[in-house]
Structure 1
Amino acid sequence: MSVRLKLTLSYAGFLMVAGLLLLAAVWLFLLRYVPDRGMLYNPDDRPAGVFPIRSALLEVFAPRAAAVLAFLLVFGLVGGWILAGRMLAPLTRITDATRSATHGSLSHRVLLPGRRDEFRELADAFDAMLARLEAHVAEQQRFAANASHELRTPLAVSKTLLDVARADPHADTGEVIERLHSVNARAIDLTEALLLLSRANQRSFTREPVDLSLLAEEATETLLPLAEKHGVGVETGGDAAATGGSPALLLQLTVNLVHNAIVHNLPDGGAVRVTTGVRPGTAVLTVENTGERLTPERAATFAEPFQRGTERVHTDHAGVGLGLAIARTITHAHDGTLDLAPRAGGGLRVTVELPAVSPSSGTP
């Protein structure tokens, strides 16, 4: 049976039970206060015999009680059907929106009017879920399109180089091999970045206690030659900041942020500052770099996949456009937040907040 029919039968059944109880109460009242028999009198006030009052009352009461019960049954069924339909109307709208979503129409919303009740809260929660799902699907579609384009580019370049070399047997094969090596290395970097993104999204890692300050020191030492090459000074500081997660992924997060800060910097005399610390309940990693002045809207787009900030990138280290996207994915996989904000004097400030844990136990 449908829910509407169940509600209708429940309403009608309750009404019938209430009617029966009321009629039973009336009958008990009559039995208590009405005598069983009464005297019949002639016109001259002489007794003419005994009259069974209760039997006569039952003959009058029973058909009228049955009529009342029949009316309550019909009224309960019709009224229950109408009331159940009105009460279930919001569920019908939510069901229609669900069907639309299953057919790929994620833009449809319930938009349930009226006062805030349980159905309104359910509809609003469903609309919010659809909005997040639509945004996620759109992001995944953009990512797939960008990834396909990025992967196609080195393959197309390799094919062009091979076609040119085959068409000209006397061409310098050393130069072709060198260019093919460079293109192939870029394709490998992109593939590894995509695999890292997938691994972080799946959260397939074991959580261990990790000190962000130690990761910051390791990342800056690893990238110090790159910083010297670009003439960028790197400074580290702060306190121990213990969190829980994958040491390899969190190191990759830190390396990506420091690498991004070095190569997206001033052409000469740039600076990078890496600090760690603890706030109530969170371990904080902050990476700042000098550079051109940015707007908050533009800075927020740098964590999107394949957004390289081409105006600020050094031509010899353009990367694959996934550094900050990977950092954001790793942060979210560790139940943290990554915030991008422009610095007042120019450049970018990246703040990562992760759940703080006890260094010894690894528990919050």
Structure 2
Amino acid sequence: MEGMSVRQETVGRAPGMSVRLKLTLSYAGFLVVAGGLLLAATGVFILSYGSLGPAHTGVVRSPQSAAMVRAFAPTAVAVMAFLLVFGLIGGWILAGRMLAPLTRITAATRMATTGSLSHRIRLPGRNDELRELADALDTMLARLEAHVASQRRFAANASHELRTPLAISKTLLDVARADANHDTGELIDRLHTVNTRAIDLTEALLLLSRADEQSFSREPVDLSLLAEEATETLLPLAEKHGVTIETGGDIAPTSGSPTLLLQLTANLVHNAIVHNLPEQGTVWVNTSVRPRAVVLTVENTGVKLTPQLVSTLTEPFQRGTERILTDHAGVGLGLAIVQTITHAHDGTLTLTPRSAGGLRITVELPAAPSALSER
């Protein structure tokens, strides 16, 4: 509604004088005023010179002064007219050349409002204020295009992922309806599994949206305590998979949402457990402190990963098909949620493949203001 009201206000605005015409009149007016002042100074000089006689006699020559002024007046009028015409023509041409980049910028902006984000201004010439503006708009359009493309992929993937459990449920119900002697217990179990997956996916999508909108209050948080809590919660899962978890590090005070940061930590530890070696795997969880930041590092053993695959793991619904998958592979939003929560807390997320196999994930967040003041 706000966007519509702004658009209606803009459309209903009365047309005004163009900037080019304003600049033209400004140039011409300045030139005429400057020429008028120069001519006035010349006239004063003529009057002063003509009214003085020879220095040794002091005789005043008023008739000669009047004649000089009458001779000078037509020339002054002609010069003023020439300056006016020259100022208007020259100002119009000069203003057009100065405003030409703005025309290109306006055209690109209008194309962007219609949904065409692939167009770029690419303003030529040396660096100046208009070139900086054009480059900034090009950068903004590139980011918007990437964001829109990402949102479209996300919407398509989310629709597909939500459609799958619904389609499975419909198929199971159709089979049960067609076969009255079908085992209802097995049907209920399968429907429960499918429904649980749909609920997990929906909650993950809601969490992702909440973190992306940054609709949360910031509180003091110690990442080391969150790491311990997430590790204790997921310890049974680690024991089931034969994975050993090693924790350690320093107190890491930051500020943010305890719930979201706990979800971030739990997602990292969960991924490190289920995407590990088939047996005798290890997960290392560590917290550390830097001059102006705190760092959470989660590292795990596993198969060797290529940098190309690692670069895609934060994409929504990317499950890393080259890694070892289990029944706890999740809905493919774990690292996407981690990345969104990290960015929402003004942090950075770094994924690095280990040379011996597995993955090393580092989350760096700003240190709490109180911790910085104590140093």
**Cα shift readout 1:321-352 (whole Å, capped 9, x = no counterpart):** 00000000000000101111101211111100
Please give the alpha-carbon distance, in whole angstroms, between the structure 2 residues aligned to 1:259 and 1:12.
Answer: 73
Counterpart contact for 1:299–1:342, Cα < 8 Å: yes
Counterpart contact for 2:301–2:359, Cα < 8 Å: yes
- Matched with 1:62 is 73
Counterpart contact for 2:309–2:320, Cα < 8 Å: no
Closer, same or farther: CA 174–316 of 1 in aligned 2, 3 Å? same
- Matched with 1:227 is 238
What is the correspondence of 1:15-94 to structure 2 with a 5 Å cutoff?
A: 15-35=31-51, 52-94=63-105
Of 129, 136, 157 in structure 1, the residue corresponding to residue 168 of structure 2 is 157
By how many angstroms is 1:313 displaced?
3.6
What is the correspondence of 1:1-364 to structure 2 with a 5 Å cutoff?
A: 1-35=17-51, 52-358=63-369
**Cα shift readout 1:76-116 (whole Å, capped 9, x = no counterpart):** 00000000000001110010100110111100000000001
Consecutive unaligned residues in structure 1, runs of 5 or more: 39-49
C-alpha RMSD of the superposition: 1.7
Runs of 4+ deviating beyond 4 Å = 358-364
**Cα shift readout 1:291-333 (whole Å, capped 9, x = no counterpart):** 1111222111101100001232433112100000000000000
Counterpart contact for 1:290–1:346, Cα < 8 Å: yes
Please give the alpha-carbon distance, in whole angstroms, between the structure 1 residues aligned to 2:195 and 2:95.
Answer: 66
Please give the alpha-carbon distance, in whole angstroms, between the structure 2 residues aligned to 1:20 and 1:86.
Answer: 27
Closer, same or farther: CA 54–358 of 1 in aligned 2, 3 Å? closer
DSSP 3-state at the match of 2:210: helix
Please give the alpha-carbon distance, in whole angstroms, between the structure 2 residues aligned to 1:94 and 1:62.
Answer: 48
By how many angstroms is 1:269 displaced?
1.1
Consecutive unaligned residues in structure 2, runs of 5 or more: 1-16, 55-60
The one-letter code sitting in structure 2 at the alignment partner of 1:9 is: L
The one-letter code sitting in structure 1 at the alignment partner of 2:213 is: Q
Larger radius of gyration: 1
**Cα shift readout 1:261-281 (whole Å, capped 9, x = no counterpart):** 101111111110000011121
Deviates more, 1:146-155 or 1:338-347: 338-347
Please give the alpha-carbon distance, in whole angstroms, between the structure 1 residues aligned to 2:62 and 2:235.
Answer: 117
The one-letter code sitting in structure 2 at the alignment partner of 1:122 is: L
TM-score w.r.t. structure 2 length?
0.91
By how many angstroms is 1:362 displaced?
9.7
Please give the alpha-carbon distance, in whole angstroms, between the structure 2 residues aligned to 1:362 and 1:256.
Answer: 31
DSSP 3-state at the match of 2:322: coil
